[in-house]
Homo-oligomer: A and B are copies of this chain.
Amino acid sequence: MTYALAADPEYKNLGTATSHLSGRIISRFTHVHQNIEDLIKKVKLLRVLGQKTGTCFQRCVGFDGINATYSVTYEMDKKNGTSYFERFKKWLTYIQDENLMVVGAMTDPKGDRSKGPAGQSDPDQYLRIVERRKDGIIIQGAKLHMTGAVNSHEILIMPTTAMDETSKDYAVICAVPVDASGITMIFGRQANDSRRDNQEDIDVGKPSFGVVGGEAVIIFEDVFVPWERVFMDGETDFCGDIVYRFAAHHRANYGACKTGLMDVLTGAVCYLTQIQGTANGSHVKDKVTEMIHLSETLYSSSIACSAEGWPTSSGAFMVNTMLANVCKHNV
């Protein structure tokens, strides 16, 4: 549906954008927000998709990862004279032109949460660089809860938390195709999956648009990544930034996709009350009103953090972080 909507004349305006890199029309899910209008269109796109699919449509994590990496690589280069930003723009142009689906991979297993990456008894509790070669790096570790991983094209790996000097090998941003050598995905079983697979004639989600959420554990065993796909290598002082920006963009989504889902649920509830003959009950009206109220409160925060967006030095627009956090907190 994320592809279908881009081709639908009614939703084209939301589903597509003009690339600031190539000038070509691209899927909005591969776009870097250029202004407040882009931020607001993202919210409206996600709400429509929530309404159309009634489920998770898996594209926002990669979308937010692209936007966070864009401005952070720009700032790393400005500070350190590195060339991550150019590498990233090249990779991003490829993603835009090929219209690929990217899974943003941030969450590590993390082991003992009272210790950082370097303090774990098992060093692979956080994904890390185990070797630096002339042509690239070798990474090892795992990323958990990777929504939509199995049906994506590319994985955008990012660090999962702020880090200090002791964790240089864990400070890595890079991109790998899902079928790179050394990658294993463990697909999470889902509620009643065997029932669905037995093709019983009941409605259990919309498998034609992918499996609900579809979370996987991605295991990386000695995965090679060529330098042109490495966008951070040891810059621990920027780990906090990438997490913070990713999180802000991502939290802004909750008042978008979830309210789309709520629209479906609220409609279903209203329809049920008509079937039951309770639609005019004041207690029913109260509860439906409360559903709408909760939903629109969430939506307010998504719109507000977008309307109060601001330009980073790279030109990419960020949402207002405070209001994005409020949005997440209200879920």
Interface residues of A (CB under 8 A from B): 40, 111-115, 189, 191-192, 194-195, 198, 276-278, 280, 282-283, 286, 293, 296-297, 299-308, 322-323, 326-327, 329-330
Contacts and interface: CB of A to CB of B under 8 A. Distances in A.
A112 B277 contact: yes
A299 to B, nearest CB: 7
Which 8 residue pairs of A and B lie closest in terms of their CB atoms, listed nearest first? A282-B282, A114-B277, A300-B304, A307-B307, A303-B304, A112-B277, A300-B301, A194-B194
Given A194-B198, A297-B297, A306-B307, 6 more contacts: A114-B280, A191-B192, A194-B194, A299-B323, A300-B305, A303-B303
Contacts of A277: 111-115
Contacts of A113: 276-278
19 contacts: A40-B307, A112-B277, A113-B277, A189-B195, A191-B192, A194-B195, A194-B198, A282-B286, A293-B326, A293-B329, A296-B326, A297-B297, A297-B301, A297-B330, A299-B323, A300-B305, A300-B327, A303-B303, A303-B307
A181 B304 CA distance: 47
Copies of this chain present in the complex amount to 4
Nearest to A295: B326
Q: Is the interface of A mostly helix, strand, loop or mixed?
A: helix
Contacts of A300: 297, 300-301, 303-305, 323, 326-327
A195 B196 CA distance: 12
A277 B112 CA distance: 5
Contacts of A111: 277
A119 B296 CA distance: 37
Contacts of A280: 114
A271 to B, nearest CB: 14
B112 A276 contact: yes
A224 to B, nearest CB: 32
Nearest to A115: B277
A274 B277 CA distance: 30
Contacts of A327: 300
A112 B114 CA distance: 30
A36 to B, nearest CB: 9
A12 to B, nearest CB: 21
B296 A323 contact: yes
Nearest to A282: B282
A288 B206 CA distance: 36
A293 B324 CA distance: 11
A195 B322 CA distance: 41
